[in-house]
Structure 1
Amino acid sequence: MEATPIHLLPLFAVLFALFRLCKLLLRRRDQCCFMLDYECYKATEDRKLDTELCANIILRNKNLGLEEYKFLLQTIVSSGIGEETYAPTNVIMGREERPLLSDALQEMDDILFDTLDKLFARTGINPADIDILVVNVSLLSTVPSLTSRIANRYRLKSDVKSFNLSGMGCSASVVAIDLVQHLFKSHKKAFAVVVSTESMGPNWYCGKERSMMLSNCLFRSGGCAMLLTNDRGMRHRAILKLKCMVRTHMGSDQEAYECCMQVEDELGYRGFRLTKGLKKAAAKALTKNLMVLLPKVLPFWDLIRCWYRGIASSAGLNLNKGIQHFCIHPGGRAVIEGVGKSLGLSEHDIEPARMALHRFGNTSAGGLWYVLGYMEAKKRLKKGDKILMISLGAGFKCNNCVWEVMRDLKDPNVWEDCIDSYPPKKQLNPFTEKYGWINDESVSFVRHYF
């Protein structure tokens, strides 16, 4: 056989490279992830935590002394949370110290089934068509699993791929979406449902350790259900398209690993401990994550400028060149302000997270979607806009992703009945009016976190 002329070898090399590139592009075309819709949970009016009820719940804890009472009330004053958040039924009814399994299951059923009923009704998708189901609840693991409760309620098909995630913390919904995105690679034209919430009722802390009492002041009932697909034929119905995702895990760092942890105190009360290492762990995880994420979303010349000035310097960052909206996990006032300051964001940028915290509290993994709902209710989200979701969670993890808005979003959502009153004109926290007195020891501790 006659040998290939030497001068044709470069041509063959170019053709081979183009062939490989085409294969890669075609493969990536099949790896799309569209969000068709989402539904956030809003509890009934009889579960609202107004000023008076919050104080009563605190005063019910007979393990606390005067200083602990003052600390808790001052923490609420400084938290950035308003009077319209929701608590689990067993807490409202005064059964927080001895919750029953039935309380936990009823709390989950309320959130899971309410959001899924509305999601299926809004999208017109038949539950029997769902191929993938992911539920994430960090602090509750039941037998049968929560995914089985959903499969039983909606008569899902026998070959549905179900996954029950626990212990993943406040960033679990992004982890769940990442799982769905990977499953889409081997399941063509599939529908996936993700439900993100938290079990608050059985995990209400009844002890007196301050680092564990903080969770009672921040965490509230809430959750979200999302419907996703990789069917390009559904592109015209999608509201968002996933552009990229980066997950960062700091579990090998002992201080970061221990900064958010479920433990028992010396009296045997179980709760969620937040240590002084939380801020440091969050800053480190966010920095590592953005070093990978930013090159995927910022224009080339902005990346060059960041590299020249130093990517860790906020002066070198101008995220608005590649991103129009910032969906920050509403974990607490300090979290929102810290992320905003480190990224050089404006008050307009962090307003959705502030307002989600004020109206719904920290709803754990569901929190991001209340922030997104605020942006939509304010009619900020326009076709082609990019949204950066920033989530932080126990472990310690930072999971961030970027979405592209597929059409102007203005559908009614969980904010519909109150969006015109936000941001509130009256900036004074209602708790301040009744419990705004100062205690030096309390303020010193509170300021470290809030």
Structure 2
Amino acid sequence: MELLIAIYLLPLFYAIFQLCKLVFERRDQCCYMIDYECYKATEDRRLNTENSANLILRNKNLGLEEYKFLLQTIVNSGIGEDTYAPKNVIQEREECPSLDDALSEMDDILYDTLDKLFTRTGISPSEIDILVVNVSLLSTVPSLTSRIINRYSMRENVKAFNLSGMGCSASLVAIDLVQHLFKCHKRAFAVVVSTESMGPNWYCGKERSMMLSNCLFRSGGCSMLFTNKRSLKHRAMLKLKCMFRTHIGSNNEAYECCMQIEDDLGYRGFRLTKSLTKAAAQAFTVNLRVLVPKVLPIWELLRYAIVSYRRGKSRNTKLDRVGEGLNLKTGVKHFCIHPGGKAVIDGVGTSLGLSDYDLEPARMALYRFGNTSAGGLWYVLGYMEAKKRLKKGDKILMISFGAGFKCNNCVWEVMRERDLKEASVWKDCIDSYPPKTQVNPFMEKYGWINDETLSFVRLD
């Protein structure tokens, strides 16, 4: 009799064992953000109206029509007077950048943010198990991860990954990589560094689609510390709830809308075409279809299904239609949108029915720091913190777009509120944001360029 009981109980015990094993494995697969540090350049690198004008006038390839185009673009860009340019651009060497310029720019961002991150968290570089660096436009030998490992004397078994060519959405790509690595590396620490190499990639030609990058992109970056140690849950700022990545590179139009090329004169730069908005809409639509069911409560999904059925299926692919009818605020409190440009921010806001309050962090990050590529999302998050918007338990939706073409979105849960003193890049100026007016002084100082009576003038 005892033997029969044992035979019957054995499968039950085995099932309980496997269930407990699965539960404990999933417990160790959490991804917590302990802290992050954004980069703020020195004041001698500010690109205000006067410096921008001098920089534009140095380009002897430009004529009056190009000046008019640049004036209109800068005035409508949503970028203010306090952004930062690379050193070689400020020092009038944008046409002939050296490898030393590129490495110096990277070292400033990498080491400044990492030094502060390690100091504030108390985590030693020797404790880091995973290191991921993403810089799209610079791939050196040895890699940038190797420079960091050498600088901080990291362990021999640190898992290092160097990502290039991933565009403005690379930060979330790197975090997704960390999340997957945490599944097989228990109780680990990971560092992600997201930035971009601007100095060697400043465009000096006259193609309008390539001049746009000079108007939007600025110096910046961010270093982040992650862990899957549940014992450090109380120290975590954020917990990653879900992430979904969409890549529509198989579509030729989307693939070519953001691309590094050389123009007819041999100048290398980054081309942004008019197809970018359409590509963003397509990628965003695919992404939302998968992400929304994971974010919204069931009653909101049912309501949306009923509304969609009544309206009928829409085939409109414009960015301002992809999220029509969705009320993401039923599942998300804050929206952290990549500050890629005014059109991108406004387009996402319209598509999701967001208010000016929701879009303010992205707009202010763009205004104060410009498009800092993969690091841009964290300036937006820093603004939310500095304004004391984030409360424990709040959900944050991060939305990013990148060359390829990619749309990478994720949802975070706020675990604790940081002190305002820790929001370093905003602490000295947060009281003046949002500014009472965002009128760009370019129009006031250089509006005369649009005067048709001056069309005969040659600017030497």
With 309-318 and 271-280 compared, the bigger mean Cα shift is at: 309-318
* Corresponding residue of 1:428: 439
* Corresponding residue of 2:168: 170
Kindly indicate whether residue 430 of structure 2 is the aligned counterpart of residue 419 of structure 1. Answer: yes
Kindly indicate whether residue 227 of structure 2 is the aligned counterpart of residue 229 of structure 1. Answer: yes
Report runs of 4+ in structure 1 exceeding 3 Å deviation.
11-26, 311-315, 436-441
Tell me, yes or no, if the aligned pair for 1:74 and 1:436 is still in contact at 8 Å: no
Distance 1:169 1:293 in 2: 21
* Corresponding residue of 2:376: 367
Tell me, yes or no, if the aligned pair for 1:198 and 1:365 is still in contact at 8 Å: yes
Matches within 5 A, 1:382-401: 382-401=391-410
Distance 1:143 1:418 in 2: 39
Tell me, yes or no, if the aligned pair for 2:296 and 2:328 is still in contact at 8 Å: yes
Which segments of 5 or more consecutive residues in structure 2 lack a partner in the other structure?
A: 314-320, 453-460
Matches within 5 A, 1:11-30: 23-30=21-28
AA aligned opposite 1:301: W
AA aligned opposite 2:446: Y
Tell me, yes or no, if the aligned pair for 1:55 and 1:73 is still in contact at 8 Å: no
Kindly indicate whether residue 285 of structure 2 is the aligned counterpart of residue 287 of structure 1. Answer: yes
* Corresponding residue of 1:74: 72
AA aligned opposite 2:303: R
Distance 1:125 1:394 in 2: 34
Tell me, yes or no, if the aligned pair for 1:77 and 1:436 is still in contact at 8 Å: no
- Aligned residue among 153, 156, 160 for 1:155: 153
2:420 counterpart SS class: coil
Matches within 5 A, 1:148-227: 148-227=146-225
- Aligned residue among 300, 314, 324 for 2:333: 324
AA aligned opposite 1:433: E
Q: 1:397: how far off?
A: 0.3
Q: 1:314: how far off?
A: 4.0
Deviations 1:371-425 (A, max 9, x none): 0000000000000000000000000000000000001233322100000000001
Kindly indicate whether residue 144 of structure 2 is the aligned counterpart of residue 146 of structure 1. Answer: yes
Distance 2:13 2:388 in 1: 48
Deviations 1:266-318 (A, max 9, x none): 11100000011100000110111011011111101111122222397645211
- Aligned residue among 303, 306, 321 for 2:304: 306
Alignment RMSD (CA, Å) = 2.5
1:157 counterpart SS class: coil
Distance 1:313 1:305 in 2: 17
AA aligned opposite 1:420: D
- Aligned residue among 326, 345, 349 for 1:336: 345
* Corresponding residue of 1:53: 51
1:327 counterpart SS class: strand
Tell me, yes or no, if the aligned pair for 1:328 and 1:353 is still in contact at 8 Å: yes
Distance 1:104 1:345 in 2: 39
Deviations 1:74-94 (A, max 9, x none): 211110000000000000010
Distance 2:381 2:405 in 1: 23
* Corresponding residue of 2:103: 105
* Corresponding residue of 2:81: 83
AA aligned opposite 1:382: K
Kindly indicate whether residue 374 of structure 2 is the aligned counterpart of residue 376 of structure 1. Answer: no
2:389 counterpart SS class: coil
2:379 counterpart SS class: helix
Which segments of 5 or more consecutive residues in structure 1 lack a partner in the other structure?
A: 442-450
Distance 2:360 2:447 in 1: 24
Query: For this pair of structures, how many residues does the alignment match?
Result: 438
Tell me, yes or no, if the aligned pair for 1:74 and 1:435 is still in contact at 8 Å: no
Q: 1:57: how far off?
A: 0.2
AA aligned opposite 1:323: V
TM-score (norm 1): 0.93
Distance 1:427 1:269 in 2: 33
Tell me, yes or no, if the aligned pair for 1:104 and 1:199 is still in contact at 8 Å: yes
Tell me, yes or no, if the aligned pair for 2:285 and 2:322 is still in contact at 8 Å: no
Distance 1:256 1:314 in 2: 20
1:133 counterpart SS class: strand
Tell me, yes or no, if the aligned pair for 1:80 and 1:332 is still in contact at 8 Å: yes
Distance 1:375 1:313 in 2: 26
Q: 1:16: how far off?
A: 9.0
Distance 2:22 2:299 in 1: 26
Tell me, yes or no, if the aligned pair for 1:325 and 1:349 is still in contact at 8 Å: yes
* Corresponding residue of 1:447: none
Q: 1:21: how far off?
A: 5.7
Tell me, yes or no, if the aligned pair for 1:77 and 1:435 is still in contact at 8 Å: no
TM-score (norm 2): 0.91
Tell me, yes or no, if the aligned pair for 1:82 and 1:430 is still in contact at 8 Å: no
Tell me, yes or no, if the aligned pair for 1:330 and 1:353 is still in contact at 8 Å: yes
AA aligned opposite 1:425: K
1:99 counterpart SS class: coil
AA aligned opposite 1:60: R
AA aligned opposite 1:362: N
Deviations 1:314-351 (A, max 9, x none): 45211111100000000000000000100111100000
1:424 counterpart SS class: coil
1:326 counterpart SS class: strand
Kindly indicate whether residue 295 of structure 2 is the aligned counterpart of residue 297 of structure 1. Answer: yes
